[in-house]
Chain A
Amino acid sequence: MSSLVLVLVCLPFATALVTWMTPVRFSQYLTIAVAMVTFALTLVLLPRVSHSVVTTGSVFRVDALSQVFLLAVSFLYATTALFVKGYLALGDGASARRYGRRFYAGLNLFCWTLITVPLVNGLALLWVALEITTVISALLVALDDTEGAAEAAWKYVLLASLGLGIALFATIMMYYAGTGVHGASYSLSYSTLLSGAARYDPGVIHFSFVLAVLGYGTKMGLFPVHTWLPDAHSEAPTPVSALLSGALLAVSFYAILRFFQIAVLSVGPTFPRDVLLVFGVATLLLAALYLLSQRDMKRLLAYSSVEHMGILAVGMSFGAPIAVVGVLLQVLAHAAAKGTAFFGVGSVVRKFGTKDMAKIRGGVGALPWSGPMLVLAVLALSAMPPFGIFRSEFDIVYGGLLEPRDVIVAIFVVLVILAFFGLSWFTTETMLSPDPSGTQISGGAVLVAKGEVSNWIVSAMVIGLVALLILGVHPPTPLVHLLDHAAFELRGKP
């Protein structure tokens, strides 16, 4: 099993190197094959880590918690690889070839860093891995070389770097907290930290946890340090937006969960939960309000990501085991739903040549497959049954009522409904309103011929929706065991 972990780390990296040197046509198929193999290997790892920990040397370590995030990232890697094949329409010129090479190398490198984050052992390596995700994704956001892309990339790289600076401060304080127990020189590996956490200085742990939530929260998109997120998501190439939203935000949340795990052992559950509650509710409120005023399809989905990150934080603050299981299921379901929604938006943008929702009408008529599937993905994001997010948010609300945190649950439900209005109103307006060829359409809408942009996009969306259905209707037993065990790990047992 430990060699499997090494393969998981090496494969995407080697692919990035190969795609840098090979023609785009070859890179497309290679990326699809490698991404599928990576996802398959993650599935092979699943039953083993549901009950035990797999370590490779002192550098890599996979437990149930990291496996949940590994699943989300590798699933999105596989579907994005399919989507890109249909989405990228490159010409034959030298500049198009150069763009294609950069794009594929960057995409594989980005996925490599995303996969590495949950695999590494310890808070120090975790920080290093997350820092590398920033560097690579900032370059990917700027890849399209437009004015908007430069602005978005600048805001992103500056804010994310500052956030990571604060996160390093948190890591240093955590190291200091451990020196009283483990001696002046020790490694920041999870097993070391978890074994000694109960004896750490509570004052230092309080400080470290708040810094970690602020620092990694910047990358996760928590209020008030979320401002880079809508810009980067809307200006990046659509496949990168899907990965940023479904995978990067998730692995940043993973970093916060690792600090949470140690803090719960050290200072008890009340303080870490309260911190997450404050950030979570504020984030949810902001996202729900902003969702009501968006005109750009990708920004709409970006604010929906902010909303879901708020839900994750609030869900963790409830603390009941079923709420924690719901949070982890939400990570998986959000990756699938947001990926599918971005693929659909990519198809719409390619078809209509604009992201402006005022100019897009009759999307379902123009795109007979990806149009309806985009509507379904948005309904899934709004927690409609029978999709995965319905189940996960149901678990979270149920956990909140068990705790009991009735007032917070009521606020939570109201804000989620508000977000549902924003998301579904604009989507139905663009996708389901009359076809431009009809007589009722007002001026300004773009006229397009009926037909799909690419079957590759359709196939990526079908896989996403099937996954959402499985997660919602009947999650496979090994996955249920995995989520239960990961939730158990988060209760703070070493």
Chain B
Amino acid sequence: MAPSTYDGVAAVLALLVLLTEFAMLRAPLLRSQVRLYAFQSFVVTGLATYVAASKHIDELYALASLSLVLKVVIVPSLIVRLLRDADTDLAGSSVLGVASSILIALVVAAFGFFAVGSLHVSSSSLPTSSLAISCAIVLVAFVLIILRSDVVSQAIGFFSLENGVSVASLVVATRLPLIVDIAFLFDLLVAVVVFGVIMRVHHARNATLSTSDFDRLRG
């Protein structure tokens, strides 16, 4: 059976979220990473709105607008303000070059995609391939966090992982109690504040946002 327009649009939006994740892997400037995160969150918000409109799920509109305000506007602007104070532009050099990072991410994403695809999960709200894509997004976010060595990239990695989980929740648990989704979004806001406090402490002490000197505690 040929996929419907709805399935096609949803899969394309989910794929766009994954591609943005790859773009983050190669972005050399911290600011461009924050912008990519804002764009990624915007796409996730668009996906939520699209599901809400197509499936007539009104709660999702509330979630989408909240996510628009928090993830597209507030969180990125908080991080940009932090960057202005820190006066650092370049992301911490990756442990590997861009080409190797992307290759590793491709392998990891393919693993996630096919592993979840083999579960044969069927959903009434979105095409199942979107669940496999969301798992790939989560795994590539892990690659980003592992390979980058500065606190901003690692924090952005975590926030984009949350976008991946949001896509998964839109795919298989559209009607998950709204309270959880909203609590999750507010948690994100609190997490930004906690990340911000720790980043500030770290920067004030070491005049850097790099995590390369986070090697005192070992063993």
A residues with CB within 8 A of B: 124-125, 127-128, 131-132, 135, 138-139, 142, 145, 147-148, 150-155, 157-158, 161-162, 165-166, 168-169, 171-173, 175-176, 179, 184-185, 187-188, 203-204, 207, 230-231, 234-235, 290, 293-294, 299
Contact = CB atoms under 8 A, between A and B. Distances in A.
A231 B162 CA distance: 25
Interface in B173-219: 173-177, 179-180, 183-184, 187, 190-191, 194-195, 197-198, 201-202, 205-206, 211, 214, 216-217, 219
20 contacts: A124-B176, A124-B179, A127-B180, A128-B187, A135-B190, A139-B194, A142-B201, A151-B202, A151-B216, A154-B151, A154-B211, A162-B142, A162-B158, A165-B138, A172-B165, A172-B172, A176-B123, A187-B177, A235-B217, A290-B219
Given A135-B187, A142-B201, A234-B217, 9 more contacts: A131-B187, A135-B190, A145-B201, A151-B202, A154-B151, A169-B165, A172-B176, A188-B177, A290-B219
A142 B198 contact: yes
A152 B217 contact: yes
B217 A184 contact: no
Contacts of B172: 172-173, 175-176, 179
B158 A161 contact: yes
B68 to A, nearest CB: 20
Nearest to A203: B119
Interface of B: 116, 119-121, 123-124, 138, 142, 145, 151, 154-155, 158, 161-162, 165, 168-169, 172-177, 179-180, 183-184, 187, 190-191, 194-195, 197-198, 201-202, 205-206, 211, 214, 216-217, 219
A142 B177 CA distance: 33
Nearest to B118: A203
B21 to A, nearest CB: 14
A158 B194 contact: no
B197 A139 contact: yes
Contacts of B155: 158
A158 B154 contact: yes
Contact of A162 (B145, B173, B177): B145
B161 A138 contact: no
Nearest to B183: A128
B147 to A, nearest CB: 14
Given A135-B191, A165-B138, A165-B158, A154 B176 contact: no
Given A135-B187, A162-B161, A165-B138, A172 B219 contact: no
B188 to A, nearest CB: 9
B205 A150 contact: yes
A39 B123 CA distance: 46
A328 B201 CA distance: 39
Contacts of B205: 147, 150
B197 A165 contact: no
Given A127-B180, A150-B201, A204 B121 contact: yes
Which 8 A-B residue pairings sit nearest by Cβ, starting from the closest?
A: A176-B172, A185-B175, A175-B173, A124-B180, A231-B217, A128-B183, A172-B173, A151-B214
A171 B172 CA distance: 11
B173 to A, nearest CB: 4
Contacts of A154: 151, 198, 202, 211, 214
Q: Taking chain B's interface residues, is the majority helix, strand, or loop, or is none over half, making it mixed?
A: helix
Nearest to A176: B172
Most buried by A among B151, B187, B190: B187
Contacts of A153: 198, 201
Contacts of A161: 158, 191
A231 to B, nearest CB: 4
A158 B119 contact: no
Contacts of A207: 116, 119
A147 B216 contact: yes
Nearest to B182: A128
Nearest to A153: B198
B57 to A, nearest CB: 9
A184 B169 CA distance: 13
Given A187-B177, A203-B119, A168 B217 contact: no
A127 B165 CA distance: 14
A207 B172 CA distance: 14
A203 B117 CA distance: 12
A135 B194 contact: yes
Nearest to A293: B219
Contacts of B175: 184-185
A494 to B, nearest CB: 21
B219 A299 contact: yes
Nearest to B124: A184
Nearest to A184: B175
A356 to B, nearest CB: 13
A225 to B, nearest CB: 11
A203 B217 CA distance: 40
B154 to A, nearest CB: 6
Nearest to B203: A150
A172 B187 contact: no
B94 to A, nearest CB: 17
A390 to B, nearest CB: 29
A155 B214 contact: yes
B67 to A, nearest CB: 15
Contacts of B216: 147-148, 151
B74 to A, nearest CB: 17
Contacts of B177: 124, 187-188
B165 A168 contact: yes
B176 A175 contact: yes
A342 to B, nearest CB: 18
